[in-house]
Chain A
């Protein structure tokens, strides 16, 4: 099966200010502009020009909020005045700004670049934004899924910045100052890794010309180098009970696995192996799932979640259950069985087909496709590289990988329901 990143080959070039640009013609109704800054929530320490800097938790996300404040106006307002939609998001590894629309897209793109080269951080604005971000944090904190994930981070992680959450905690953001924001802005918003991706029914030559003519305020691009996090490989707490106000109990299973390389292809393959392994053993087509639901040990299937940042892989799977302690014993027994009937060549082959199919279908969502393309590219991979890597994984790889997982890498959170709490 052939796989292309896009139907039309991207036109790639770099501006004098170091911004990497890709223009992709596509016959869509809207034009999609995506500007990626290589600064995310897990970035904590870096070196620039021989000096080491520390970033406060939540600062990447805070900057995302602040960038729309221009010295004399609100950039969001400007985008809407010219008829386009602006949005932004922060992930573990990057901050992404987007503009979508069907008219005025070239002026909107140039304005987006200008906005991302303009810092206007007064203490009064910073204070006001802390209130809004505080409400955003409260909103996530009221979601049961967030609570379950946070507790597992606390059990698995000693110091890796994943534990701070993307927004940072309330007491983290209270410490962020206008000066902190300006330093992070200067060092990352001029990075030579930042990229601008534009996909849509565009006049590629016209866009290229206009972008090359753009008068940038950035004369020299920066090249900050992140310092790897020295996270211990063992888990912090193996098991913990929680008596929260919950009407249905939950078992959350965490695995912490440390990888001794920063090679992106290896990291990607490891991520896929972990997902394959756990889906084969505990997914909806496993004997485990069938038996445990028949025996009323779990109500529906596991929700799987995997985060791999900075050589630390965190795998989590949670399920609603009225007997989290009993179910935990079944999980351990099932994983460490010497001969496990869930791990067989036929089921592996079927699951691999499912992954290939899901990879194809996920890219039908244009925004998602552009985001993944940018994300892999920032990490030195392409979408087609990722697809090829997925295709190379074998059944033996999964069996071998299973042998690398030991019981001391597991951690369990037991959330009791209110009846049990009483």
Chain B
């Protein structure tokens, strides 16, 4: 159990991580379980009863996040509540610990009504996907990049899988697999000795498990271009570049900076080009997904200019790969990246995820180490990173020629 003490905040965050290897057959089970487990407990036997209890615990809220990261499928449950120290409430923490224990461990067969509700919710998530166009576009892009690899599968499972899943299957998965996951627990906030002592009872639930690395090799495919139409007023254009630099690679920080320079901040080459030279986009960004070895560019452009924008992005990135940044731009990007890191450290929500990823992927760095590494990145290293970019996939989701809300 990892405690991240800080006196700055009035809330305490407790995160439970359930970690397993990535198996797309289990995606649906895990997505459903995230909802079922947080819906009720043995003491609070319905969503309503649990919700009333959470209100009484000064609005404690529970979020769940189901995602894949590198070789792992991860379910994160985060419990957030005001620090009892500021409320003079001695009973509160005991109640919270009891809820956490009952939520995850020693559960009898789930209630059919809760299982049905979770199933309906998941079906709705899948059916409404196209109503949320940007999320839909991101899912489609992942599918086009990774095809049958688990990274390309929807985290919810498929429609057919949801329609056919049974309560017994889910319960079986919970008992025989989920409870055997690696389980890590993190706590952040103003943690007194008394709070630490009480929370330590949860540490008996932690488990370690050896998880085999997963194979991922997609960069040798020829470039694939996809386009699709929905009723919408813009065109979302995505470019996916393979970039084989992971978190421990010596060029990792240089890759972060390359991402910043391409479309990661307002002075980046694509932002300046599309927004401030051609005035055809408002939203321009890039994201370096180191765990999947991809750098993804995105621009939301007006319909009439989608071909122009598409060609401009290809040409500009190709030129940038060849030329690299000036010293001045690189210095600016370094400052921007440092500011992002410092700002995240001022933000309690980022404390646990940051530490969790460091522990999971096995690296240890202080803030000063990172800042020093940023300072040391050279123009040549940026050029080296840029030379490793391989465009594998483009995807455009756009409206038809005429569209009106």
Using a CB–CB cutoff of 8 Å, the interface residues on chain A facing chain B are 1, 27-30, 74, 76-77, 80-81, 83-85, 100-103, 128-129, 131-136, 138-139, 141-144, 147, 150, 244-248, 283-287, 289-290, 293-294, 296, 299-300, 320, 347, 349-351, 353-358, 360-361, 363-366
Contacts and interface: CB of A to CB of B under 8 A. Distances in A.
B307 interface: no
Contact of B59 (A103, A247, A287, A358): A358
Contacts, number: 178
B48 A290 contact: yes
With most chain A CB atoms within 10 A of its CB, the pick from B47, B48, B86, B87 is B48
Given A361-B80, A363-B10, A80 B55 contact: no
A284 B51 contact: yes
B343 A83 contact: no
B86 A1 contact: yes
A289 B332 contact: no
Contacts of A289: 47-48
Nearest to B58: A357
A361 B11 contact: yes
Contacts of A284: 47-48, 51
Contacts of B57: 353, 357
Contacts of A138: 233-234, 282, 300, 302
A83 B332 contact: yes
A362 to B, nearest CB: 9
B58 A142 contact: no
Contact of B86 (A287, A300, A360): A360
Given A30-B346, A353-B56, A358-B59, 18 more contacts: A30-B343, A81-B332, A83-B335, A85-B340, A100-B343, A135-B282, A135-B283, A136-B282, A138-B234, A143-B133, A144-B131, A284-B48, A294-B117, A320-B124, A350-B56, A355-B59, A357-B58, A360-B82
B120 A299 contact: yes
A356 B56 CA distance: 11
Interface residues of B, number: 68
Contacts of B232: 142
B117 to A, nearest CB: 6
B404 to A, nearest CB: 10
Interface stretch (B167-175, B273-281, B311-319, B358-366): B273-281
A247 B131 contact: yes
Given A29-B346, A284-B51, A354-B55, A142 B86 contact: no
Contacts of A347: 52, 55
A294 B113 contact: yes
B329 to A, nearest CB: 9
B19 interface: no
In this complex, the member of A147, A287, A360, A361 whose beta carbon has the largest number of chain B beta carbons within 10 angstroms is A361
Contacts of B346: 28-30, 366
A290 B47 contact: yes
Contacts of A129: 279
